[in-house]
Amino acid sequence: MFVDTAKIKIKAGDGGDGAVSFHREKYVAAGGPDGGDGGRGGNIVFVADTNLSTLADFRYKRKYFASKGENGKGGRCRGRNAEDLVIRVPLGTLVKEEGTNRLLADVSTKEPYIVAKGGKGGWGNPHFATPVRQVPRFAKPGLPGEEFDVVLELKLLADVGLVGFPNVGKSTLVSVVSQAKPEIANYHFTTITPVLGVVSIEEGSSFVMADIPGLIEGAWQGTGLGHQFLRHVERCRMLVHIVDVSGSEGRDPKEDFKAINNELKKFNPELAERPMVVVGNKCDMATEGQIADFKAYAEEQGYEFFPIMAAIRYGVDPLLKKITEMLSKLPPIARYEAEPAPVVTVDDFDDHTVAIKNVNGIYTVEADWLLQVMKGINFDDYESLNYFQKVLINGGVIDALRKSGCSDGDTVSIYDVEFDFMD
């Protein structure tokens, strides 16, 4: 079964916890803290697999959780980083965040895409040793890994998309110009899944042609089968619009042409601007007058017209030559850039709860909302640090620290960030 959408839950691994340990060795007095840091949690990585053609596997497994990083150990032994969890998907799969529809990755090349990052490992107790505090009996836990509910959407990577009403000869054309073997029969909706075929023109020259299942009027609203596959047209560099020029099924080829173009435009206005050639198939069943009339109509619309008989490959070679010529001048297959996470501000949260703990003289701040804000802070940038300072003031963190007894010179720890409190 061809499946081109799926919903799954992904969660990167949490970071390992830092260790609380002290060096103990014969003849070594006061060896001091030697707890190791925790390891990084595993990332969620998407990789294109050319052996896959559908998202059917994701109908049976919907949760993908990476492993947690190893906890730190004594002797300053850092915990091992967890292995990344690799999810294999067909080439051309879009990974979107459910709800916001934000694009996380376009898996259209063979490079790996990290979609959810594993949490950083926590610090071991040596990080908290100072001339005053020489025996820190605490460490920092690892940070949580990123977590998303995502929608997978497959958009085929093809140079040329064949569009048109059912039973006009799209599958026949693909079968005679490539090694693809789509089902061909004299009834509507014979093709119920998109079919890709590689068309070889000469040595070193080829392109990918996609047979998009037959559209009908109202497809963009969900009528027929075509609405399920309109998304696969969006990446095509150009379109080949095939019509039954003979009107063998009692339909007017001109009306068919208008209807399909209207469906493409309603689904995505950009498709109406996509380069296109028009093909009149079943010329053996049409009169010369019918062919001439439709050719004049297509050329009036600004399209080049090619009469063919796909079943016997009549007129196909000039069509392929024209397609090759047009593709040589067109940009490559569309690929989409991942969208950055939106900047999170204090105003995005209704609950500004802040938990303050005094652990051996270090004031530890915990707040879920603050952790989300910190993901967008660049602590190496002066302006970003100023913004973070305003967040602490406006979010009530500074007031909460004062109420907890924090005073000038005390150490404050906010997740991975430490600073001296200045009132």
- Segment 236-282, tens digit of pLDDT: 999 999 999 988 888 899 998 998 888 888 888 888 889 999 999 99
- pLDDT at residue 169, rounded to an integer: 86
Using alpha carbons, select from 196, 103, 212 the residue that is nearest to residue 164.
212
| Sign of torsion over alpha carbons 210, 213, 217, 220 | negative
What does the CA dihedral 319, 325, 330, 334 come to, rounded to 10 degrees? 50
Using alpha carbons, select from 391, 311, 282, 307 the residue that is nearest to residue 345.
391
Q: What is the pLDDT of residues 339-349, one digit of tens each?
A: 887 765 656 55
Tell me the C-alpha to C-alpha distance, in Å, between residue 324 and each of 27, 159, 201, 204, 313: 81, 10, 8, 12, 17
52 band by pLDDT with thresholds 50, 70 and 90: confident
φ and ψ of 320, to 5 deg? -65, -35
Q: Which residue has the tokens 């959810």?
A: 116
- pLDDT at residue 118, rounded to an integer: 95
Alpha carbon distance 219, 225 (integer Å) = 7
- For the chain, the average pLDDT equals 85
Q: What is the pLDDT of residues 192-226, one digit of tens each?
A: 467 888 898 877 788 999 888 756 555 444 444 44
Lowest mean pLDDT among 211-215, 287-291, 320-324, 355-359: 211-215
Beta strands in 120-191 (DSSP E): 147-154, 160-163
Supply 81's token pair: 């980083």
229 band by pLDDT with thresholds 50, 70 and 90: low
Phi-psi region of 371 (alpha: psi -120 to 50; beta: other; left: phi over 0): alpha
Q: If 0-12 CB within 10 Å is exposed, 13-18 middle and 19+ buried, where does residue 64 land? A: middle
- pLDDT at residue 238, rounded to an integer: 94
191 band by pLDDT with thresholds 50, 70 and 90: very low
The mean per-residue pLDDT over the stretch 7-31 comes to: 89
Strand partners, 161: 210, 239
Q: Is the predicted pLDDT of residue 73 greater than 60, yes or no? A: yes
Q: Which residue has the higher pLDDT, 235 or 276?
A: 276
Please name the residues in contact with 230: beta carbons below 8 A apart, sequence gap of 6 or more. 212, 215, 219, 220, 263, 264, 267, 268
Count H helices and E strands in the chain, helices first. 7, 18
3-class SS of residue 356? strand
**What's the distance, CA 56 to chain centroid?**
17
3-class SS of residue 172? helix
Percent of the chain scoring above 70 in pLDDT: 89
26 band by pLDDT with thresholds 50, 70 and 90: confident
- pLDDT at residue 107, rounded to an integer: 95
Q: What is the pLDDT of residues 153-188, one digit of tens each?
A: 988 888 999 988 888 888 889 988 888 775 554 544
- Going along the chain from its start, the domains and CATH numbers come out as 1-154 (2.70.210.12), 160-327 (3.40.50.300), 344-423 (3.30.300.350)
- pLDDT at residue 345, rounded to an integer: 61
The mean per-residue pLDDT over the stretch 300-312 comes to: 93
- pLDDT at residue 54, rounded to an integer: 85
Using alpha carbons, select from 121, 106, 143 the residue that is nearest to residue 72.
121
Q: What is the pLDDT of residues 77-101, one digit of tens each?
A: 999 999 999 999 999 999 999 989 9
**What's the distance, CA 240 to chain centroid?**
28
φ and ψ of 127, to 5 deg? -65, -20
CA-based angle 399:404:405, to the nearest 5?
Answer: 100
Using alpha carbons, select from 314, 317, 281 the residue that is nearest to residue 298.
281
The mean per-residue pLDDT over the stretch 379-399 comes to: 81
Q: What is the pLDDT of residues 96-153, one digit of tens each?
A: 999 899 999 999 998 999 999 999 998 898 988 878 778 888 788 888 899 999 999 9
Please name the residues in contact with 93: beta carbons below 8 A apart, sequence gap of 6 or more. 46, 48, 55, 106, 107, 108, 152, 153, 154, 155
Q: Is the predicted pLDDT of residue 227 greater than 60, yes or no? A: no
HEC per residue, 50-119: CCCCCCHHHHCCCEEECCCCCCCECCCECCCCCCCEEEEECCCEEEEECCCCCEEEEECCCCCEEEECCC
Q: What is the pLDDT of residues 62-72, one digit of tens each?
A: 999 999 999 99
Q: Which residue has the tokens 């619309």?
A: 301
**pTM (2 decimals)?**
0.74
Using alpha carbons, select from 118, 108, 122, 126 the residue that is nearest to residue 145.
118
